Amino acid sequence: MSGSDTKAALVLSVDAMGGDEGPAPVVAGLALFLRGEPDVKILLHGDEATLAPMIAKRDLGHAVTIVHAPDVVAMTDKPSHVMRHGKTTSMWSAIDAVRTKEASVCVSCGNTGALMAVSMIRLRKAEGVNRPAIACLWPSRNAAGFNVMLDAGADIRADEEDLLTYAMMGASYARNGLGLKRPRVGLLNVGVEEHKGRAELKVAHELIARAAPKGEFEYVGFVEGGDLPSQRVDVVVTDGFTGNVALKTGEGTANLITDSLREAFAATVLSKMSALFAMSSLKRLRKKVDPRRVNGGVFLGLNGTVIKSHGSADATGVAAAVTLAAQLARSGFTDKLAARVASAASLAQDADIEDASSETAKDT
């Protein structure tokens, strides 16, 4: 890869080693992705002796440069251990390529906690961000086919200013990742009535409503769990504890429905015949809820973009995550997100000043 090619091409950084199945599905996914993206270059981080034969076998040498990193972050490794001893791992190397501007976006199938910890150390939080968030795509009835939900588990806590920041970041992601000019943002609560919910939710409700015009999104108010896949909203904002429980519940329910349908259609000869007649409809349903299509949680609120792919992702899932990385890189997402975060910080400060002024006026 020559210097001129590197300058002209979009460059993505990929951790080859962190997934459950090792580098094989990662390389296979890159092969799928690169068929439709001949101008993209990949920095592939991992053990060179392991990766070189895989790259040669698929004839990807023209687009993929191996960056040797001898060690691997295991799924069982604690983030604190990785932060102290992980400098020679493929994950650390992949993130550093974004830090040094050699690549625009990092993609990893590795340990989520370690990935977030190393990302925060190497990329640092963006100015105005207290707690970064993970944004995930949720299958929905909207035209785009997905809604954005955040936080999906980066931090179990979130106060009113964090939720305001999440709203701004989520709207920016929907705008750049889903192509929505004016995303609709909702705040997850136990009901849509304004008197319901914890104190920080009520304050966040007011802050997000004030921020909507400047943030160029529409605030629809409180939403409930049933709105996650609905047409009412494009972005659902919540804390990481609630978001992660919702995400795992949704995945578990989808798997239960899929398994139950499979068992029902295999129960008798008649049901097997019925399955044949319903095959096209079942394929459409499977495609709509296929988690591989929405593979890739985006870390928001850092000085760089990192995408977390499922650890068990196959080639299709890896290709989806890298495709998302390319889309966000081309949109200039990191710089746009930083501007939105700065807006959120200033809006929160303005609100604090207004509240202080109101209290002073009451006292005088």
Over the stretch 7-37, which tens digit does the pLDDT of each residue have?
457 999 999 998 989 999 999 999 999 998 9
Sheet containing strand 297-300, edge to edge, reads 64-68, 40-46, 10-15, 105-108, 305-308, 297-300, 133-139, 146-150, 235-237, 184-188, 218-223
pLDDT of residue 343: 66
> Nearest to residue 15, comparing CAs of 29, 26, 5, 4?
26
Distance of CA 188 to the CA centre of its chain: 18
| Three-state DSSP class for residue 350 | helix
Contacts for 61 with CB less than 8 Å, ≥ 6 apart:
55
pLDDT of residue 7: 47
pLDDT less than 70: residues of the chain: 1-8, 279, 281-295, 343-364
Cα distance between residue 91 and residue 17, in whole Å:
8
How open is the CA angle 334-336-337, to the nearest 5 degrees?
A: 65
Share of the chain above pLDDT 90, in %: 53
pLDDT of residue 215: 84
User: Dihedral sign, CA of 126, 306, 158, 340?
Assistant: positive
pLDDT of residue 3: 46
Structure-block tokens of residue 244: 């992660």
pLDDT of residue 288: 60
Over the stretch 123-160, which tens digit does the pLDDT of each residue have?
999 888 888 999 988 888 888 788 999 998 888 889 99
Structure-block tokens of residue 65: 């440069």
φ, ψ of residue 71 in degrees (nearest 5): -110, 165
Cα distance between residue 234 and residue 46, in whole Å:
37
Beta bridge partners of 298: 135, 307
* CB-based contact 311:110 (threshold 8 Å): yes
pTM: 0.80
* CB-based contact 105:329 (threshold 8 Å): yes
pLDDT of residue 1: 43
The per-residue pLDDT of the chain, averaged, comes to: 86
The single-letter code of the amino acid at 228 is L
φ, ψ of residue 37 in degrees (nearest 5): -135, 70
Q: For residue 301, is it left (φ>0), alpha (ψ between -120 and 50) or beta?
A: left
* CB-based contact 207:160 (threshold 8 Å): yes
φ, ψ of residue 298 in degrees (nearest 5): -100, 125
